[in-house]
Amino acid sequence: MYNQKKLKTFKRVSLIVVIIFAVLVVGGIGFTIGMSGKQAAIKQVEKPKVIVDTKKLSDSTVNKFLIAYYTKKDLGENDNRYKPLMTDSMYNQATSNEKLPVNQAYKGYVIDQVFSKADIYINQKDLTAICNVTYKNTQLTKLNSKVGALFDQPNRVTIRLMFLQQGKKYLVNNLEAITLVEPDGTTSANSYPTAPTAPSSSSSSMSMSSSSTVSSSPSSSSEVSTTKEK
């Protein structure tokens, strides 16, 4: 009799333990499912991350090139400074232009050239920049002699730069001299002061006329309206 009571008590205790265990298991499963549902809902609400490339062609990029290109002691002295800022084809064309007889004839006569400033107008769509450049140089009348030289001669030139994006860099892929057309119909061409026996333009850039365009490919007419897109 005593054993039967003991057995019944054991069964009741075992049943209670089983019920408690079942409740815990079911509750744990329900909690896990609930958390998974919440996490899924949160993931659905989260907005997808959009990576936007904010690296655009900037004034500082253009200005950096102009400084390297228009600042030089003599013809060809700055080749190594502007080389990293050009495509290979553009660099080859620029250095070939320096070797033309019309430029070599004045080598040593136009020296100590320094970039002064530039008004820059960028077209992000076409990756082009119109630049009104001002620079100064010294013009000699006799080779290796500054007797009678013209010092700090101001020069102005208007050019169009075409850039090519390579990775995160923008490299100059084309350079040409242009003539701006003013709203009143007048033209604003590149202007250079008269100097005895020496050209006042940048000998590595424009070769005394817009026909000596430095470019990596043939360029079209170089007349541009001042109402150009900035």
Q: What is the pLDDT of residues 43-75, one digit of tens each?
A: 555 555 655 455 899 999 999 999 999 999 999
CB of 98 closer than 8 Å to CB of 179: no
Task: Dump the DSSP string for 13-39.
Answer: HHHHHHHHHHHHHHHHHHHHHHHHHHH
pLDDT score recorded for residue 124: 97
More confident residue, 47 or 135: 135
What contacts 212, CB < 8 A, 6 or more positions away? Answer: 97, 100, 102, 177, 206
Percent of the chain with pLDDT over 90: 54
Span 5-28, mean pLDDT?
Answer: 69
Q: Which CATH architecture has domain 59-225?
A: Roll (3.10)
Give the residue, 133 or 201, on which the prediction is more confident: 133
pLDDT digits (tens, 9 = 90+) for 91-129: 999 999 999 999 999 999 999 999 999 999 999 999 999
* Cα–Cα nearest to 115, from 131, 104, 100: 131
CA distance 171 to 151: 33
pTM value surpassing 0.75: no
